[in-house]
């Protein structure tokens, strides 16, 4: 029996494992890097051990430190969660070698599936369909398009789609660099890229006594940069025959490597219904909550029981209803998925029915790694939380999830919430017409655009200004003072300026004896935290929340974050538009240009790694690179100048590029 379990992870998955342990009566130990010292998972564990440092390589990726932490805390078992060392056979062996129980598959199974090249060979032997492996040096025009893939790791890193032979060398080099940085292994290979394929995976659970369960499939086709955004089960629109074939293939895959524990076998399903093995994740998946919702199982509990040697009894439960999960990331889809960092000022999903557990009835589950006050840094993955809906029918689950996300109050780092809502409400998605190029195919529908358009932003600015005015009056009333800006006679309109998403917006209103007024808008009600405005006969309530240096306005029209601007800004504070600055802390991985080189608008200048992903820094306009103060390996902070591109003059713009 496991009595004390160390969770060798952080954030949302650590909290998820801790919840099950509390239910089972298992004592828990957390580990934390220095930035995570006050993280929720640390507070919720029975004990915690510090891993000195900040970078994953110095903390959560140090197997020796994790084993030592377990021994220090008196733990008798280790659960790796997902990511970090969860699929590291060497770490599993360290844990077992230290006399601890490893809550995961046998090290040999991890090793066999850790190389995608070796995994494909084994699956072919087991009769599981696979895509042919291509040597990058031997790819021909007839093979295109191809997908460059890292042999190790996952999560979309080290993957590139190539449609032209001319682009192949750069794609291979880029994939190798990213794979080496992420997994310590630069080996990549190519395989045929299936246009409009579906990413469908099967959850398996296997005990040490030879029993393997297939617990249904999940469709994970809606992705960005090969990383999943929305997952659901059952997969919509597939035939009973295909479902059965996928389940049988997954069981054969698990049996071939003598698998034990929870794992996922991933497949690529072509438009004609044919499918091929992609990889096997020898760990718990991020999207495991949707399977828990429809089966009623606690997969972490099952992992622990299997690690204790207990058998799977009876038959796997039949799925009930439909579940869909959306991943909330701290990133901006409208700005090439740039990650967001900073303090989470408010994290609230109204109507949440369950936290880290499946709801007892149709409703919303939230698994979150953050809460109010949490810090989001650049060292770790950008995922903040998973919001899951369960309902008897797919349509009901999608509607519940979209509504919960739309009403969520997410203040602080920018998120992909608006994109998720647009996807869940898109006609093609509602019809189950999903595939891995869904975002690209429907890009013209504005999926990545903020929900709040220019008109909503103007209304939000007006609501913010009116709420602030009401707050000033309330403060003055308490002090018995005259409110700032008060006039006995009619005066000029009141103005308030704000910055939002790189632009400026101005709110203009008048204070009259009968209350505030604004052109084209009826001001119905004003309080310090709530404003109701009427436009064209339709009333819109706005909730206004003031944080230091930031005003967040939430409404059914979309969320808007506003930074108040001084009425008379200091010209010295303005940033030269020729300076390209780091949008977040990170590490410069590759530099594609040199000083003195002329570049066109959109040219990639360098690659910045942050939050476990590589991000492009591009030229905002045609010009000449006049300064390049960074080199590969340079650590930079937010706002650091990465390059200076002096724009072309009127005569230079027409000159050909050398």
Tell me, yes or no, whether 557 and 583 share the same domain.
no
Q: Using 50, 70 and 90 to split pLDDT, how confident is the model at 652?
A: low
Token pair, residue 289, equals: 């909550």
What is the domain range of residue 138?
A: 132-192
Q: In the β-sheet with 530-535, what is the strand arrangement from edge to edge?
A: 515-517, 503-512, 494-500, 560-564, 550-554, 538-547, 530-535, 522-526
Q: Are residues 584 and 548 in the same domain?
A: no
* Residue 570 belongs to some domain of the structure: no
For residue 595, the domain's CATH number is 2.40.50.100
On whether the CB atoms of residues 77 and 92 are closer than 8 A, the answer is: no
Checking if the pLDDT of 654 tops 50, the result is no
With respect to residue 649, please indicate whether it lies within any of the assigned structural domains.
yes
153 plus 80 within the same structural domain: no
Q: CATH code at 282?
A: 3.30.470.20
C-alpha distance from residue 573 to each of 388, 462, 482, 565 (Å): 43, 26, 33, 12
Among residues 515, 535, 564, which one ends one of the domains?
564
The total domain count for the chain is 5
Structure tokens that stand for 86 in this block: 């969860």
Q: What is the pLDDT of residue 613?
A: 72
Point out the least confidently predicted range of 161-170, 268-277, 489-498, 649-658: 649-658
Q: Which of 79-88, 398-407, 507-516 has the lowest mean pLDDT?
A: 507-516
Distance CA(291)–CA(293), nearest Å, equals: 5
Q: Considering only residues 398 and 512, tell me which one the structure prediction assigns the higher pLDDT.
A: 398
CA atoms within 13 A on the CB side of 239: 9
The answer to whether the CB of 299 falls within 8 A of the CB of 257 is: no
pLDDT for position 478? 75
Q: What is the pLDDT of residue 578?
A: 76
d(CA 4, CA 27): 4
- Report the predicted TM-score, pTM, of the whole model to 2 decimal places: 0.88
- Strands (E) in 94-166, as ranges, are 101-102, 133-134, 146-150, 160-162
Cβ–Cβ < 8 Å for 280, 114: no
Give domain status of residue 496, yes or no: yes
- With a cut of 70, say whether residue 480 has pLDDT above it: no
Please tell me the distance from the alpha carbon of residue 403 to that of residue 606, in angstroms, as a whole number: 39
Residue whose token pair is 């998972």: 41
pLDDT for res 656: 45
In this predicted model, what pLDDT tens digit does every residue of 229-258 receive, in sequence order? 999 999 999 999 999 999 999 999 999 999
Q: How confident is the model at residue 343 (pLDDT cuts 50, 70, 90)?
A: very high
- The answer to the question of residue 27 being in a domain is yes
- Of the pLDDT bands very low, low, confident and very high (cuts 50, 70, 90), residue 491 is low
Of the chain, the percentage scoring pLDDT greater than 90 comes to 80
- For residue 481, pLDDT over 80 is answered with no
Residue 48 confidence (pLDDT) above 90: yes
Q: If you average pLDDT over residues 562-575, what whole number do you get?
A: 70
Mean pLDDT of 385-401: 98
Give the CATH number, domain containing residue 475: 3.30.700.30
346 domain-assigned: yes
With a CB cutoff of 8 Å and minimum separation 6, the contacts of 376 are 330, 340, 341, 342, 343, 344, 370, 382, 384, 412, 413
Co-location of 83 and 174 in the same domain: no
Question: Which of the four pLDDT bands, split at 50, 70 and 90, describes residue 182?
Answer: confident
pLDDT at 181 over 90: no
Mean pLDDT of the chain: 92
Least confident range of 93-97, 193-197, 223-227, 578-582: 578-582
365 and 395 in a single domain? The answer is yes
Dump the DSSP string for 206-264.
E-TTS-EEEEEEEEEEEEETTEEEEEEESPTT--HHHHHHHHHHHHHHHHHTT--EEEE
Q: Which residue, among 641, 647, 648, 502, has the nearest Cα to 580 in the 3D structure?
A: 641
Residue 83's domain is classified under what CATH number? 3.40.50.20
Phi, psi of 336 (to 5 degrees): 55, 35
By the 8 A CB rule, do 29 and 68 touch?
Answer: no
pLDDT per residue as tens digits for the range 442-462: 999 999 999 999 999 999 999
Question: Residue 631 above 60 pLDDT?
Answer: yes
Residue 653 banded pLDDT, cuts 50, 70, 90: very low
Using one digit for the tens of pLDDT, what is the confidence trace for 1-36? 999 999 999 999 999 999 999 999 999 999 999 999
Is the domain of 401 the same as that of 539?
Answer: no
Instruction: Residue count of the chain, please give it.
Output: 658
- Higher-pLDDT residue of 260 and 480 is 260
> Do residues 583 and 609 touch, judged by C-beta distance below 8 A?
no
Tell me the CA distances in angstroms from 313 to 2, 210, 211, 413, one per residue in order.
20, 12, 9, 46
Inter-CA distances, 400 with 111, 349, 404, 410, Å = 40, 12, 6, 18
Q: Is residue 109 part of a domain?
A: no
| Residue that finishes a domain, picked among 541, 564, 587 | 564
Per-residue confidence band for 526, with pLDDT thresholds at 50, 70 and 90:
very high
Task: Based on the fold, state whether residues 426 and 499 are members of the same structural domain.
Answer: no
User: 60 vs 63, 268, 283, CA distance in Å?
Assistant: 8, 31, 16
Q: Is the dihedral of CA 603, 608, 609, 613 positive or negative?
A: negative
Average pLDDT over residues 299-315: 97
Q: Say how far apart CA 464 and CA 535 lie, in whole Å.
A: 16
What is the predicted pLDDT for the residue at 490? 58
Query: Which pLDDT band holds residue 579 (cuts at 50, 70, 90)?
Result: confident
Residue where the block lists tokens 């004990």:
47
174 and 206 both lie in a single domain:
no
Q: Which of 641, 650, 642 lies closest to 623 in space, CA to CA?
A: 650
220 and 200 Cβ atoms separated by less than 8 Å: yes
Residue 284 has pLDDT above 80, yes or no: yes
pLDDT at 492 > cutoff 90:
no
- Please give the Cα distance from 87 to 187 (Å, whole number): 17
Neighbours of 260 (CB within 10 A): 24
Q: Output the six-digit token pair for 138.
A: 């031997």
> Which H or E element spans position 168?
helix 168-183
One domain for residues 432 and 491: no
Instruction: State yes or no: pLDDT of 282 exceeds 70.
Output: yes
Alpha-carbon gap, residue 180 to 77, rounded angstroms:
30
Domain boundary among 445, 463, 493: 445
| Confidence label for 584 from pLDDT (cuts 50, 70 and 90) | confident
Answer yes or no: do 524 and 427 share one domain.
no
Q: State the pLDDT confidence band at 650, using cuts at 50, 70 and 90.
A: low
Specify if 635 maps to a domain. Answer: yes
Each residue's pLDDT tens digit, 349-380: 999 999 999 999 999 999 999 999 999 988 89
Same domain, yes or no, for 60 and 184?
Answer: no
Inside any domain, residue 124: no
Pair 175, 215 in one domain: no
Positive or negative, the CA dihedral 169, 334, 222, 438 is: negative
């Amino acid at each position: 029996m496991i009595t004390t379990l160390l969770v060798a992870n952080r954030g949302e998955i650590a909290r998820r494992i801790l919840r099950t342990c509390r239910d089972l009566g298992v004592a828990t130990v957390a580990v934390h890097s220095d930035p995570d010292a006050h993280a929720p998972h640390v507070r919720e564990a029975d004990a915690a051990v510090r891993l000195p440092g900040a970078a994953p390589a110095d903390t959560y990726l140090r197997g020796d430190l994790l084993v030592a932490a377990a021994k220090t805390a008196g733990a008798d078992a280790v659960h790796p969660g997902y990511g970090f060392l969860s699929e590291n056979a060497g770490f599993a062996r360290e844990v077992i070698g230290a006399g601890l129980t490893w809550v995961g598959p046998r090290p040999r199974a991890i090793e066999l599936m850790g190389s995608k090249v070796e995994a494909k060979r084994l699956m072919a032997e087991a009769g599981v369909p696979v895509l042919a492996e291509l040597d990058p040096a031997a790819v021909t025009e007839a093979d295109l398009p191809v997908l460059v893939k890292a042999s190790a790791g996952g999560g979309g890193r080290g993957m590139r789609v190539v449609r032209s032979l001319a682009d192949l060398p750069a794609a291979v080099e880029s994939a190798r660099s990213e794979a080496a940085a992420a997994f310590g292994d630069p080996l990549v290979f190519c395989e045929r890229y299936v246009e409009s394929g579906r990413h469908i995976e099967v959850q398996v659970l296997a005990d040490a006594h030879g029993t393997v369960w297939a617990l249904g499939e999940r469709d994970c086709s809606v992705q960005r940069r090969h990383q999943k955004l929305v997952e659901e089960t059952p997969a919509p629109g597939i035939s009973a025959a295909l479902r059965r074939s996928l389940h049988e293939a997954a069981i054969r895959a698990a049996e071939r490597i003598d698998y034990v524990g929870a794992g996922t076998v991933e497949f690529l399903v072509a438009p004609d219904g044919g499918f091929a093995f992609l990889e096997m994740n020898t760990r718990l998946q991020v999207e495991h909550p949707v399977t828990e919702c429809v089966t009623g199982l606690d997969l972490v509990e099952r992992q622990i029981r299997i690690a204790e040697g207990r058998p799977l009894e009876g038959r796997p439960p039949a799925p009930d209803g439909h579940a869909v999960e959306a991943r909330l990331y701290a990133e901006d889809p409208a700005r090439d998925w740039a990650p967001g960092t900073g303090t989470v000022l408010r994290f609230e999903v109204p109507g949440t029915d369950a936290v880290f557990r499946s709801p007892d009835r149709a409703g919303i589950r939230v698994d979150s790694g953050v809460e109010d006050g949490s810090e989001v840094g650049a060292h770790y993955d950008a995922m903040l939380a998973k919001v899951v809906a369960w309902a008897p029918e797919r349509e009901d689950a999608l509607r519940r999830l979209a509504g919960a996300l739309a009403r969520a109050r997410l203040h602080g780092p920018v998120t992909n919430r608006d994109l998720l809502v647009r996807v869940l409400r898109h006609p093609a998605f509602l019809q189950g017409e999903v595939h891995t190029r869904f975002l690209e195919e429907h890009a013209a529908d504005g999926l990545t655009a903020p929900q709040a358009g220019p008109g909503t932003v103007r209304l939000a600015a007006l609501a913010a200004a009116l709420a602030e005015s009401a707050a000033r009056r309330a403060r003055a009333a308490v002090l018995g003072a005259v409110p700032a800006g008060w006039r006995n006679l009619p005066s000029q309109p009141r103005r308030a300026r704000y910055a939002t998403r790189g632009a400026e917006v101005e709110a203009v209103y008048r204070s009259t004896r009968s209350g505030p007024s604004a052109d084209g808008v009826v001001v119905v009600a004003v309080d310090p935290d709530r404003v109701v405005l009427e436009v064209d006969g339709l009333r819109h309530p706005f909730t206004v929340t003031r944080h230091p240096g930031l005003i967040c306005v939430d409404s059914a029209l979309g969320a808007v974050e506003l930074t108040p601007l001084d009425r008379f800004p200091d010209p010295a504070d303005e940033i030269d538009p020729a300076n390209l600055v780091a949008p977040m802390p990170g590490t410069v991985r590759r530099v594609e240009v040199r000083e003195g080189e002329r570049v066109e608008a959109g040219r990639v200048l360098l690659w910045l790694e942050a939050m476990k992903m590589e991000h492009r820094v591009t030229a905002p306009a045609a010009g000449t690179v006049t300064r390049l103060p960074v080199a590969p390996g340079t650590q930079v902070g937010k706002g650091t100048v990465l390059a200076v591109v002096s724009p072309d003059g009127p005569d230079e713009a027409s000159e050909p590029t050398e």
